[in-house]
Amino acid sequence: MDIEKIVSQMTIEEKAALVSGTDSFYTNPIPRLGVPGLCMADGPHGLRKQIDLENNGVSRSEPATSFPTAAAAACGWNPDNLRKMGESIAEECRFYGVHTLLGPGVNIKRNPLCGRNFEYFSEDPLLAGILGAALVEGVQSKGVGVSVKHFALNNSENYRLMGNSVASEKTMRMLYLKPFEYIVKHARPATVMCAYNRINGVYCSENKWLLTDLLRDEWGFDGVVMSDWGAVHKRVDGLKAGLDLEMPGDTAICRKWILDAAADGSLPMEVIDKACIRILKWIDKYCIPADKKPVDWKGHHALAAEIAADCAVLLKNDGVLPLGGAEKLHIAGELFGTMRYQGSGSSNINPTEVTTPEAVFSTHGIISVSADESDVIVYFGGLTDEYESEGLDREHMRLPDNQITEIEKLCESEKPVVLVLFGGSPVELPFADKVSAILNMYLPGQNGGKAVYDLLFGVKNPSGKLAETWPIKYEDVPGAEDFGKNITEVYKEGTEVGYRYYNKHDIPVRYPFGFGLSYTTFSSGEWKKTGNTYTQTVTNTGGRAGAEVAQLYINGELAGFEKVYLEPGESKTVSITPETTDDRSWPDEYVVPEEPPRFPVTLESRFTDLNQSFIGRILFNAVLSIAKKQIKEAERMPDGPEKNDMRKRALFMKRAMENNSLRSLSMNAGRRMPYNYAQGFVELTNGHIIKGALRFLKKIKVPKLPKEEQ
């Protein structure tokens, strides 16, 4: 593709179309010049190739492998897991004709209540960066691009569409920006996705310091910057700031803004040309025909279990595990048969198959006996979809009340109780001293049942290490009292997040960062330094093959790591050369703005704020009625995976709508809710009936898209 020639031949109408998406997950083709449309699809722990392109929400999708989520995969501390996962996902992308995967998500886990933490790796920027880069390398090695997200400081869900993340430059550079910087410099991702939120008052989609000064000029990123879906505000300002592509597009108002600004000279042609060139380079490299080579679905299913087993964390064991097979087991807990293996939201995958613990136990002839015949009790619990999802933050850090009651009662039997946990984030464990063992699976993907069986019965040896701290109680978390409560999110704790905070202030935790038990034992020598390289010898001193993670800390921060797999009696010397540290000093000041008034409402108001007026309540309830109807339809369906999937999608839609804004709703819905409709709803909500009616009648006029000109 002769990109310079194509750009020189493009009309301004074609350029305005190219920098806008279409049909939810595509770039606009330019048929006259032979430019195809590039296909994107959600990730990051599996492919969500949506079937219904008329709906860019969480709709039905093609079958694909649901791998362990980032929260689980990170606990493997093994980049090879992520590379293999990335390669497999890319093969499925090629099969379905997807050119770019929307992931990985590498935002720092600032607070355990963030509803999207299951999709992120760690509280530590180095661990998140290394693992994120490995996934990028795996995907792109197969000719499929990625979109690293959500850039940046998108660390909560309640106000993610309009929230203002207030932080000092020191806090941003030393913690929240580091994973992105590492990935950009080491893995060269095809695209970066900017987040919804503001940073110190400026929306990410029009933040020149973030998208150009830092990302491009300082870090050397030369790919495409796209918006999160519906994250665009002032489109022309976004282009000038370095936002190349608006997604999902099909918004007449954004094309009109571009065309008008180009006509009056306020948008220099060189600005839009640069964006077009970057998009065309991306299309030229990654928009290749679908690979009809059959996918090894069974192999990918097996890989999902292999990764899940390598990443599971044994949090406690008084010797009851591994089970020998002769024990009489009493099995309890709703997640035994309905294992929660993935999160809710845009990453919700339609799995090729699901293997639950119940299915594997049944295959091996393991049956449950009564809380009197049993030798050991195994309880399967954790966070359900009602407690954890993209679109909202958790209200507390507890398990569901019914599970706490059940576990406490089982502990009264004085039989050994083994707790198998599922979920994307830490939970409070008030009964930790009463149970005999805790095996934390996080969200292990579609073949998690096999991983659970292999670990419980000693076929595999647990070797996962926590990629985040597990506090004893939520009140111990820095900034716990303010997190997710207001539109302005002040990062007043600075870089004291996770283990940095607990270690500095000597606050006891339930399980520390980097912790995980094994069925064997290890000894590790002292770290020895030669030049810039550190070495340590690790020995398996037990009777089982296993794996240990050598962790190097310098000045209290993780500086490097390596996972070693050792047979009994085997030793290995680990060699780590830490990344060169940036010794520049950064400003540590920030300005906290006043909270904006909730009324009158604006295009940026949280959707729930519409309830402040009579007409606003009518609109709010009308929109939410769609999701509520889907929830009711799901409840009427027969029990099974389809019911669970539909219910998850409906719950996510409800939560996402409640935390939406009229502007984002319009930018996401495209032709189904033009921008003037959003403006009209604002006027009506504020009691301006005539102004609202006039807004509805004033249609936004733009030329046809290039694909419609044929």
Q: What share of the chain is helix, strand, coil (3-state, %, to 5)?
A: 35, 15, 45
How far, in Å, CA of 192 to CA of 102, rounded? 9
What local confidence, expressed as pLDDT, does residue 645 receive? 79
- Tell me the domains of the chain and their CATH numbers: 38-243 (3.20.20.300), 309-506 (3.40.50.1700), 607-708 (no CATH)
How many angstroms separate the most distant Cα atoms in the chain? 83
pLDDT digits (tens, 9 = 90+) for 197-241: 999 999 999 999 999 999 999 999 999 999 999 999 999 999 999
What local confidence, expressed as pLDDT, does residue 642 receive? 79
- Given a contact cutoff of 8 angstroms between Cβ atoms, the answer to whether 152 and 180 are in contact is yes
**pLDDT above 90 for 506:** yes
Confidence of residue 58 (pLDDT cuts 50, 70, 90): low
User: Minimal CA–CA distance to 351: which of 62, 573, 590?
Assistant: 62
**pLDDT above 60 for 542:** yes
What local confidence, expressed as pLDDT, does residue 656 receive? 81
User: Minimal CA–CA distance to 491: which of 584, 394, 590?
Assistant: 590
What local confidence, expressed as pLDDT, does residue 237 receive? 98
Q: What angle do CA 79, 83, 85 make, to 5 degrees?
A: 115
pLDDT digits (tens, 9 = 90+) for 62-102: 999 999 999 999 999 999 999 999 999 999 999 999 999 99
* Strand intervals (E) in 369-416: 376-382
Confidence of residue 482 (pLDDT cuts 50, 70, 90): very high
What local confidence, expressed as pLDDT, does residue 114 receive? 97
How far, in Å, CA of 27 to CA of 22, rounded? 6
What local confidence, expressed as pLDDT, does residue 54 receive? 62
**pLDDT above 90 for 408:** yes
**pLDDT above 70 for 55:** no
Active site positions, annotated: 228
Cβ-based neighbour number of residue 633 at 10 Å: 13
* Strand intervals (E) in 107-253: 145-151, 164-166, 191-194, 198-199, 202-203, 224-227
How far, in Å, CA of 198 to CA of 205, rounded? 8
Local structure of 209: helix, strand or coil: helix
Confidence of residue 191 (pLDDT cuts 50, 70, 90): very high
Please state the rounded mean pLDDT for residues 488-492. 97
**pLDDT above 90 for 321:** yes
How far, in Å, CA of 397 to CA of 114, rounded? 10
